Structure 1
C-alpha cells in the first residue's frame, strides 16, 4: 500500500521523522524547519552527538565479518566505552584525516568554515563545523536513540509510518506514528568484503589479519609489517599512503584499475586483485599468479553495502545485494512510497551542498508546493538510469560533471514551485564548477607540500573569471 494523496495530488504530510543527525540529516532538518509547513520534525540519532561519520572515537572499532557480502542483518550493537555516559557506535573515521574537498566547495552555503581552517580541513574541524551547523535544530534531535523498526502503522486511519525506537542508555522503547520519513543514516555501516577463494579458512586460521577501512584508526599498528591494502578509491589511497610510510617497503596495493591519483607511490607497488587465500605460509595468490607469503595485514578499502535493517518488512524491498537502493526517483524519493526520502546516497559527490538541494526538494514536495511526476514517469527515470549504468553500485555514482548538474537541477526544480525559497540551497556557479573540476589536482599539491596550506593561492591555484 502506497502513500495517500490529497485530492489535489499533493502529499498529506505534517509529522516527519529524520533518521540520522549526520550532515545530510542536519541539512534536511534545517530545510524542513525553514519551510514552516510541518507540525512535527523529530530527528533520531543513535550516537550521543551529531556528525555521523565525522563523529570520531579512537577506541571504538566494532567487529567485522569476513567475508561480508550481504546487507541484511540486525541494527548495529552499541559499544559502551569505559566510564562512558552513553554508548557509541563504530564508524569509519580515523585519527589523521584531512578532507579530500576544499572547504570553499565542501561547506554548506549558509555557513563558512573558520578562516583558520586548512584548505582541506581536518576531521576535527569538520566535526566542530557540524556541531555549529546543528545549533538551530538541536532541540529536534533525540540523541542516543536507535531506530529499530519502521512499518506502515496499523492504528492510523490513513497510511502512516509506525517507527519503533530504543534508547541506547535506558533500553526504553517508544512507538510513534509519522506521515513521512527522511532516511539519512548514510551508507558507511556495513563493510563490503568480497568472497574470495579460501578467505574463510584463512580468516579462521589468522583472525586478525583481514580487516576493513571501517576499523582502521592509525598507521602505527602496521609498523614494519608486510601489508596489502585492497582498493584505490579515496579511503584506499589515503589509508594506503599513511600505512606505506611505516610498513615494510613496498606496501602492496591490490587494485583492479590503477588510480589516476598517485600519493606516496615511492612506498607502494600496485598488484592485481587477490584470487586466492592460502593458509599455508599465510599467503595470497594474485590474479596474475604471483604468490606473496608471510602477510601480516590485509585492509579492504572496498566500500560499503547499502543497508536498512529497520526496513526489512517494507514492500517492495529497498535492497537486495546492497549495491544500490531500489525504487528511487532522482536518487531521493521512493517511487511506491513517496513519503519516504533517502538523502546523500550518491557516490563521488560533494555531499554537503548536495544535501541542501535534497532537503529543500523534500520540503517543497511534502508541503504540497511541488508535485512529483506520475509513478509511471518516475519508474521510467529509474529504468533509464539502470539501462545506462547497470543495476549495481554505478547506479549511485555521479562524479563530475554529473554531481554539479544534479546540485543545480535540484535548485532549479525547487525554484519552479514559484513561491520562492524558504531557505535557498546551494547553486554552483562558475567558480564552484572550477573548484569541482580541479580539486583533485589541488589536493595533490596540498599533500605534496605538507598539508599546511589554508588557501588555494598558497598552492599556486587561482580562479579567474572567464570572459564570455
Structure 2
C-alpha cells in the first residue's frame, strides 16, 4: 500500500454510528473502541444482538413474486402478544446448523463453548454472539430502526445525519456523526427471478411460491410435491429437511450438479425452470420435462443488496441490487471514505473477515493509515468489475481468495502508525486447510449423526486438525 499515491487530507472522525448489532457490527465496534474514538453508537432494530442469528420463530412477511428490485421499503416490525418489543422477520429457521466448523467460524478473541457442536446450532451461535457483545452492549441503541442517513459538508468534512425511530415508542431521533459503518447485512430483500409465466401463476396459486427467508420448518411440506430452487447452502440444507417429509423425491432445481450430496436418495436434481404452467399448476424445466400438480416451490436464490436508508446518496450505491457500487476493497466508499460497508462478500467466513475489516476501518478513521488517492481506488474498482463482472459475482470470493483477503487486511492494518491496538486474525496454513476441506468435514459430520463437538472421531484425515 505504501507505494501508492495517498490521500493528503486527514479525516476528522470522532463520532461514529454503526448500523446493525449483528456479527459484523459487533466486531467492528470492538476495533473502533480499541482506537478510543469519542463516541460510538450502534443502532439495532431488534431488542437483542445477533442479526440474522437472532431467531424470530414465525415472524415473516410475504415476499413479492417475482422480486427483482432492491427498491423496497424496509421490513415492518411485528409486535407479538406479550412481547416487550416488536420483532422483525429474518431468514433464520428452526433447525439450522452452520456449514462452517466452529474453529474457523469463531472470532479471534473468543472460542465457542466446548460443548457446542462442531457445526454449531443457531442457538449456539446466538448465545455465542450475546456473550461476545458484552464489551460493547453499552453502545447499542436497541429497538431503533434507522430510517434515513443523509450527508452534508462542514468545512470540507463529511457529516452524516442518522434518523432513527424507536420501534417501541415511535420516538424519532436525529444525530450527527463524522462517519458511519453500514453493518446491517444483506439478507433482507429476497431475489426471485422473473421466469416466464410466474406472475400469472402467482396470481392464480398465491400460496405455492415462497422464499427461503420465510422458511421455518419442514412441517408444512408433509406429503406435498415440492420443488426447491437453488444449490447453495440454504438450498442444500432446506431441501434436505423438506425431502424427509414431502412426496419422494423432492425436486432440486439447479444450474449445475452440486459436489456435496446429503440425502441424495430422496432428492432428484433437475434443471432450472423455463416456464410456469398456470392451468396445470406446474412447471416446464429447461430440458422439456413437465411437472404438474406442484404443491410448493421454495426459492433459495439469495438476496439483493438494499439500503433504503441511504436512498438520498447520489450517485446511488445500489441500482440492480446485484452489488454495491463505488467501494474500494469492498469496504470504503470512494467518494466519501467516512462511509464504510462490512461483510458484503459472499462465500466467506464472515466473523473473522468482519474483524479484519474493523481493524482497517479503525486505523483509517484514526488517521494511522491513509487510503490511496481517489483515482487509484476507482481504478481498483474498475479492474474488479472487468475481472468479475457487474453482477452478483462481484462480491463472491470463495476459497482461497477469502483467506487471502483476511490476511491482506491484517497486513494492511499492521502498517498503521504504532501497530495494532487490537490485532485482527491472520490465517495460518492449518486454518487455510480447514477452509479448503470444511465441506468434506461437514459431510462426515452429518454421516456420523451430527452430534460431534470436535473433529475427533471423524476419521484420521480430520483428527489432526482438532487443535484449533
CA change 1:145–1:106 in 2 (3 A) is same
SS state at 1:163 partner = strand
Does the residue aligned with 2:413 lie in a helix, a strand or coil? helix
Asked if 1:275 is matched to 2:274, the reply is yes
| 1:316-361, Cα deviation, whole Å (9 max, x unpaired) | 2100100000111111001011000000000000000000000010
Trace 1:55-134 onto structure 2 (pairs within 5 A). 55-134=54-133
SS of the aligned residue for 2:158 comes to: coil
Q: Distance in 1 between matches of 2:140 and 2:205?
A: 42
Distance 1:162-1:182 versus aligned 2 partners, 3 A rule? same
**Mapping of residues 227-376 of structure 1, within 5 Å:** 227-376=226-375
The answer as to whether partners of 1:102 and 1:119 remain within 8 angstroms in 2 is yes
CA distance in 2, matches of 1:30, 1:333: 18
Aligned twin of 2:33:
33
Displacement after TM superposition at 1:9 (Å): 2.3
Q: Does 1:11 align with 2:11?
A: yes
Q: Distance in 2 between matches of 1:190 and 1:228?
A: 21
- Superposed CA offset, 1:228-277 (max 9, x none): 00001000000000000110001000011111111110001111111111
Instruction: State whether structure 2 residue 459 is matched by structure 1 residue 462.
Output: no
Q: Distance in 2 between the 1:212 and 1:464 partners?
A: 37
Q: For residue 419 of structure 1, report the CA deviation from its aligned partner.
A: 1.0
Deviation at 1:149, TM superposition (A): 0.6
Q: How far 1:464 moved relative to its partner?
A: 6.7
Contact 1:150 1:310 in 2 (8 A): yes
In the alignment, the residues of structure 2 paired with residue 213 and residue 151 of structure 1 have an alpha-carbon distance, to the nearest angstrom, of: 32
The answer (yes or no) to whether the contact 1:119–1:454 under 8 Å persists in 2 is yes
1:3 aligns with none
CA distance in 1, matches of 2:44, 2:18: 9
1:20 and 1:55 map into 2 onto residues whose CA distance is 12
1:7 positional shift: 9.8
Structure 2 CA distance, aligned partners of 1:352 and 1:296? 38
In the alignment, the residues of structure 1 paired with residue 179 and residue 115 of structure 2 have an alpha-carbon distance, to the nearest angstrom, of 40
CA separation in 1, counterparts of 2:326 and 2:47?
32
Q: Which residue of 2 aligns with 1:21?
A: 21
For residues 132-189 of structure 1, the C-alpha deviation after alignment (integer angstroms, 9 at most, x for no partner) is 0000100100000000011113788843011110001111101111100000010000
Task: List gaps (5 residues or longer) in structure 2.
Answer: 1-5
1:381 and 2:377 aligned: no
Q: Distance in 1 between matches of 2:121 and 2:458?
A: 18
CA distance in structure 2 between the aligned counterparts of 1:96 and 1:164, rounded to whole angstroms: 36
After TM superposition, the score normalised by the length of structure 1 is: 0.96
Aligned length: 459
Residue 42 of structure 1 corresponds to: 41
The C-alpha deviation readout for 1:66-125, integer Å capped at 9, x for no partner, is 100000122221111122111111000000011101100000000000010110011000
Q: Give the unaligned 5+ runs of structure 1.
A: 1-5
User: Secondary structure of the equivalent of 2:371?
Assistant: coil
State the distance in 2 between where 1:157 and 1:413 align: 27
Q: Distance in 1 between matches of 2:177 and 2:152?
A: 9
Distance 1:438 1:19, change over 3 A: same
Once the two structures are TM-superposed, the CA of residue 462 in structure 1 deviates from its matched residue by: 2.6
Q: Tell me whether 456-465 or 60-69 shows the greater mean CA deviation.
A: 456-465
Corresponding residue SS for 2:283? strand
The structure-2 alpha-carbon separation of the partners of 1:155 and 1:11, relative to structure 1 and needing over 3 Å to count, comes to closer
For 1:156 and 1:278, how far apart are their aligned partners in 2?
61
Is this contact kept in 2: 1:10–1:365, CA < 8 A? no
Q: Judging changes above 3 Å, is the alpha-carbon distance between structure 1 residues 357 and 271 closer, same or farther for their aligned structure 2 residues?
A: same
Cα deviation per residue 1:385-409 (whole Å; 9 max; x = unaligned)? 1111100111100000000000000
Q: Report SS of the residue matched to 2:136.
A: helix
For residue 149 of structure 1, what is the aligned residue in structure 2?
148
Distance apart, 1:8 and its partner CA: 5.1
CA contact (8 A) 1:431 1:463 kept: no
Q: Does 1:210 align with 2:209?
A: yes
**Displaced runs of 4+ in structure 1, greater than 4 A?**
154-158
Q: What is the DSSP-based 3-state SS (H/G/I as helix, E as strand, rest coil) of the residue aligned with 1:457?
A: coil
DSSP-derived class of the 1:160 partner: strand
Give CA-to-partner distance per residue, 1:3-53, whole Å, 9 cap, x none.
xxx9952211001000000000000111100111x1110000001100000
